[in-house]
Amino acid sequence: MDALSDVLRVVRLTGGVFLEASFTAPWCVTSHIGPEDCRPHLTNTASVISFHYVISGRMHVAVDGERPLDVGGNTIVLLPRNDAHLLASGPGIPPVDSNLLIRTEPSGALSSIEHGGGGEVTRIVCGFVGSESQEHPLFNALPRVMAMNLDGRPGSDWIARSFQHAAQEVASGRPAAGTVLAKLSELLFVEALREYTAGLPRERTGWLAALRDPAIGRALARMHAHIAHPWTTEALAAEALLSRSAFADRFTQLLDVPPMSYLTRWRMQVAAQRLRETLHPISQIAADVGYESEATFTRAFKREMGSAPGQYRRSR
Question: Which tens digit of pLDDT belongs to each residue from 117-134?
Answer: 999 999 998 888 877 665
- Average of per-residue pLDDT across 44-63: 87
Residue-wise burial string across 293-313, b where 16 or more C-beta atoms lie within 10 A, e elsewhere: ebeebbebbeebbeeebeebb
Rounded CA separation 165/61 (Å): 25
Q: What is the pLDDT of residue 49?
A: 85
- In the three-class reduction of DSSP (H, G, I as helix; E, B as strand; rest coil), residue 167 is classed as helix
Range with the largest mean pLDDT of 102-116, 200-214, 233-247:
233-247
**Bigger pLDDT: 131 vs 25:** 25
CA distances from 42 to 13, 244, 288 (A): 10, 43, 27
Mean pLDDT across the chain: 85
- Average of per-residue pLDDT across 224-249: 94
Q: What is the pLDDT of residue 1?
A: 47
**Bigger pLDDT: 78 vs 37:** 78
Rounded CA separation 206/254 (Å): 5
Q: What is the pLDDT of residue 271?
A: 93
Q: Which domains does the chain have, with CATH numbers?
A: 3-198 (2.60.120.10), 207-315 (1.10.10.60)
Question: Which tens digit of pLDDT belongs to each residue from 151-188?
Answer: 877 666 776 676 666 666 666 666 566 677 777 777 77
Is residue 14's pLDDT more than 60?
A: yes
- Average of per-residue pLDDT across 194-199: 77
Percent of the residues in the chain that have a pLDDT greater than 70, as a whole number: 82
Range with the largest mean pLDDT of 7-11, 46-50, 235-239, 275-279:
235-239
Q: How confident is the model at residue 57 (pLDDT cuts 50, 70, 90)?
A: very high
Question: Which tens digit of pLDDT belongs to each residue from 254-295?
Answer: 988 999 999 999 899 889 989 988 999 999 999 999 999 999
Report which secondary-structure segment, H or E, holds 67.
none
pTM: 0.70
Q: What is the pLDDT of residue 233?
A: 97
Is residue 140's pLDDT more than 50?
A: yes
Q: How are beta strands 75-79 and 146-149 bridged, if at all?
A: antiparallel
Percent of the residues in the chain that have a pLDDT greater than 90, as a whole number: 46
**Bigger pLDDT: 183 vs 84:** 84
Rounded CA separation 307/313 (Å): 10
CA angle 86, 90, 93 (to 5 degrees): 70
